[in-house]
Amino acid sequence: MPEPSAPEAQPQKDNLGEKILGFCHDQYNKTVEFAFGKQVYVPFTDRKVSRPELWLGLPVASAFITSAITEIPIIMLGVASKGELFSQNPEVAVGLGLLAAAGGVGVGLAAATGIEVMSGIRTMSEKVAAKLHEKAKKRYEKAKQILGKDEEKIMGPGLTRGVKAVRDFISGQNNK
């Protein structure tokens, strides 16, 4: 009868060592961040931004997001009332449409600026950010359809220039 082979010696679990190693890795990462600055990729733009850029973008993004959130119900009202109100009270529909357009622009800008910030601080996954971007784009297009006019007539030259500047900036970053 063959003798049973001796069980292989298992290395002893070293929880303490692993815990300290975890601390060392964390310390190393923080040091790299301190020494060279942390940079993160921004989805859709194929570029990296540094932490100071993100912090600068945050108040701007939150202002736009707040404005966009308050405008969303108005957009919905504008869309829902299109058929009935537009035939009977065109001035109401135009008024709602103007607000909706502003809301659309607000959401668009919030998405443009917010995506960078939110992705940078990693509170939003790329997938969710993409959905927000898509939603904002649709709302903006819808708002434009309601009025059937060009951007400058809807928003005035000042706001149009601002939106164009943001678009050009993002498209410039995409092409880098």
Partner 1 sequence: MVRIINSYMNKSIKDFLKTLLDKMGINPQNQEEIIKTFTGTLTVTMLGVLTKSIPEEKQKELGEKLASANNWIEILSKEAVELGEKEEIVKNLNEQLKVKIDELIDNLVTECPKEKRTEVLAYVESFSK
Q: Which residue, 19 or 167, is less far from partner 1 as judged by CB?
A: 19
Site string for partner 1, 24-43 (x = CB under 8 A): xx-xx--xx-xxx-------
Angle, in degrees to the nearest 10, between helices 126-147 and 51-80: 40
CB of 33 to partner 1, least distance (A): 10
Q: How far is the CB of 35 from partner 1 (least distance, A)?
A: 3
**Does 23 participate in binding partner 1 (rule CB under 8 A)?**
yes
Amino acid present at 14: D
Give whichever of 18 and 46 is closer to partner 1, judged by the CB atom: 18
The DSSP line for 32-91 is HHHHH--EEEETTTTEEEEHHHHHHHHHHHHHHHHHHHHHHHHHHHHHHTHHHHHHH-HH
Please give the full DSSP string across 112-140, using - where no structure is assigned. HHHHHHHHHTTSS-HHHHHHHHHHHHHHH
**Using CB under 8 A, which residues numbered 134 to 153 contact partner 1?**
none
Q: Which is nearer to partner 1, 12 or 175 (CB)?
A: 12
Rounded distance between C-alpha atoms, residue 25 and residue 69, angstroms: 41
Shortest reach from residue 37's CB to partner 1, in Å: 10
Vertex 85, ends 151 and 64: CA angle to 5°? 40
CB of 172 to partner 1, least distance (A): 23
Which residues are near partner 1 by CB under 8 A? Answer: 11-12, 14, 16-21, 23-25, 27-28, 31-32, 34-36
